[in-house]
Structures are given as C-alpha cells and as structure tokens.
Structure 1
C-alpha cells in the first residue's frame, strides 16, 4: 500500500512539474505562458461540461481523459497563484481536506455514526456553509441567503440554485400548477413584445429571460434538472437532424438544395421513425 501511495504522489509531483515547465517564460509553451486566471475560466467551464458528456456516454476511457483535463485546470490556476505568491497547489488540497472534514461531522467529528436522511444532510451542509460565511472577514453588509450561489455558474444551473435557496425559507410556489401558469404568462409577454408596433430588443430579451427562469422553476417543481433536460433535448435534436441529413443523402440531395417544407417533411419522417423505435 505504501508503494502504491508513493506512486500516486509521484504522479501528482510530475504533473505539477510539467505545469511549471509549460509556464516557463523562456522555454515554456507560448499559449500557456500568456494565460491568466480570467482567460482560463471559459475553458474550465467547457472542460466540466465535457466531463458530464463523457459520463453520459458511459465510456470509462473518455471519463478518465476528461477528468484529467479538468484536473489540469485546477493545476493551472494553482501554478498562476504560486507565481503571484498567493498560494500553492498543496494549499488548495489542504483547504479542501479541512473543508470536507468540517462539513461532514457525521463522518469525521463528534457526530460520527449518526444516521441522517438526505434532508438532514442538506440542512447540515447549508448550516455549516452559513457559519463559514459568517466567519469570513471583510463583510461590508449583512450576508444574503443568495451569497452562497456562485455567480459564474452556467445560466440554467445558476437559476435553479437561486430558486432552491429561496425555497428553503419558504419563498416558493406551493405546487406545480401556478408555476405552469407563470410560464404561460411569461410566453404571452414575449408575444406582446414581439408583436409591438416598434419591437424593443432589450424588452424582448428581458421577457425571454423571465420565461426561461420560469421554465427552470417548472423543471425544479417537476423534479427535473433543467440543464440535464436541455442537454438531452439537444442530443435528441442532433440525432434527428443527422437523420434528416441521411434521408436527404438517400435522395441524392443536399439540405441546401431542399426547401424548408421539404426539410420539415423529412424531419417529421425521422421523428415518427424515432418514436416508433420505442
């Protein structure tokens, strides 16, 4: 076991050494050298989604590969912080260890062995996070319930977490039907803005945003993860569009050569066939 652990630690050290070499101002990679924390954030989000996509595919090799890419992002940030004298990779790991121990008293603390329900665990996690927030210095105002929701989350996830946080204190619709009515109301408001004599683009954007927020709320009330639902719908669209392309190819035609009505006919054909498989 000791040899195995040593091998694992050696791989971490090797990874950190490679990262340092990539950032070497003279002998490193020009792309890596010019990166900043701000420039990396979009790549981090992309890598997280690629991990999710690999997990959905169920391919272990792809999952391992994408997890490595995501880990590289963490190592990259730590290297940048190290260069600026802010903190080291070891500090990141240590902070995580301390946080995990602190947030799991039923595993590591005085409450070891306690049997907690999912609801109990969620409440415990939220309580400990709130206590951590209070302990941080430099608060210029009273902490808000929504401060714990990261602003940089993807939009669907951000909306869902905001709504879940509010629901914990009772700021929520009692059941699904009023939420469904709210969705219809928001869609009607979009239509009003679109059909206005002089459509206002900002107003249309705002109303579409309200409708999307309401749809996320509806998904939450239906116990559906909005991001997962949209991802599945997108993959379904890809499959059906590929079917349209194949159907056109069988007719020895390109999509650009077909009219919209002809493409719609192929779409309905593919859609019917896909439903028939079920």
Structure 2
C-alpha cells in the first residue's frame, strides 16, 4: 500500500503541474487573442505573465555553486606599459665612431659635394624656368614647344639650350649621387666589421667570461650540496630536500660547459678542477 500511495502522490503532482502549464498556455493564447482584437495590456501585466510562464529555478542549499566569474579588468585599471630604454646611439668607450673612420668620412664628403652641386643646379634651373615663363619642372614637351615659339618669333633659343643642358647635368649628378651613396654604405659596413671584433673584446667578452665563471661557481656549489647530503645519509641522518637541480648543472654530461671551453670563455684546467668527471672535455 505504501508503494501504491507513493505512486498515487506522484501522479497527483504531475497532474497538478500539467494543469498549471495548461493554464499558463491558455492565458498566453487569450492575451494574444486580445492583442489581435485591438486590446492592450500594461507593461506590468506583461512582465507578470512572463514571470509566471518562466519555469521556477530551484537550487539545493547544501550544494556548492560554481565559482563566480572573474571580473574583467578595464583599460583604466591596467598598468601602463613600461617602455624599454633606447639602445641606439650608445658609444663604446675607447673606440671611434664608425662614421668617423677615414674611408667613411671621405666617401661622405664626396656624396655631400655631389649633393651640393645638384642642389645649386636645381636652384639655377628653377630661376631660368621662371624667367622663361615655364612652370617649375615643366616637361620636355613644354620646353620644346616654347623653343619653337621663340624661334618662330625671331628670338634666340639660347636659354632653352641652357635649360636642357642644366637638366642633363642634374640627371647625371643624381646618378652619381646614387653611386656615392653606395660607396658610403660599403665603407661604413667595412668599418663596422673591422671595429666589431675590437668592440667585442672590450665589452662583450668580459661579460661572457664573468657569466661562464658564475656558471662554474654554481656547478661547484651544486657539487658541494650533493656531497653534504651524501655525508648526512652516511651518518644515518635524513637530509632535507635539496634546493634545485638542472641539466645546466650536470657534472658528467654538460655540453654547455664544453662549448664555453671551445669558445674560449673557460679554460680546460678551470673546468677540470670543478668537474673532474665531465665527458668530452
């Protein structure tokens, strides 16, 4: 009987829910009919009807809800980017500027001389075009047309010939400037290549040497740490966990240390004192 009563109760609950859903649907259909007929309802009534039609949301109090979404940071709350310092224009103490090398200075002087000549001719051409009534940079067709008109009027075309000669000279100087500019670039590249080795010896090699020695000292500390732990174990003690270990500190297979020896940043004798069992040294 208990089982039948439970089934009966569930049937009653399902029937009540079906009746409630049917009532909501009928209410919505009736409202649609009123809207079609020209009737209207207030916004509050519409909101109430939609609230009633929405299925109830049930939550279990003892169940833990999901984590709340993380707030999205606005642009105002984000930290401003920190610009990196510019690395251009840094001079190496004791080394000349590549731009001040003799071959670079000579090539640059030639380029400057050609540029000044071309600019002077351009100014002369502009003045002559203005005197002839031509627009600045007039085409060769317009210049030829003006020459024909001058000859037809019985005037001399000497100024036209001068203008054409100056324009030809400017074109040649422009081509010469391109060649001179290439010479400047080549001379500077040679100077930079020649000074790079000396600059590296003064600035980079000491820093690389210090870094290599620091790595060797760290490997020695790692070796001492391992030895201390072994002594504790041999004495029957439990050593605490080690700090850290990395392939960079390997005492037996360490290709980085071998490369540092080959590149001259470390000597073989220095390495063997700290790493007597290193392979490939």
For this structure pair, what is the TM-score category when the shorter chain's length is used for normalisation? under 0.3
TM-score normalized by the length of structure 2 = 0.19
TM-score normalized by the length of structure 1 = 0.19
Indicate the structure with greater helix content. Answer: 1
Structure possessing the higher radius of gyration over alpha carbons? 2
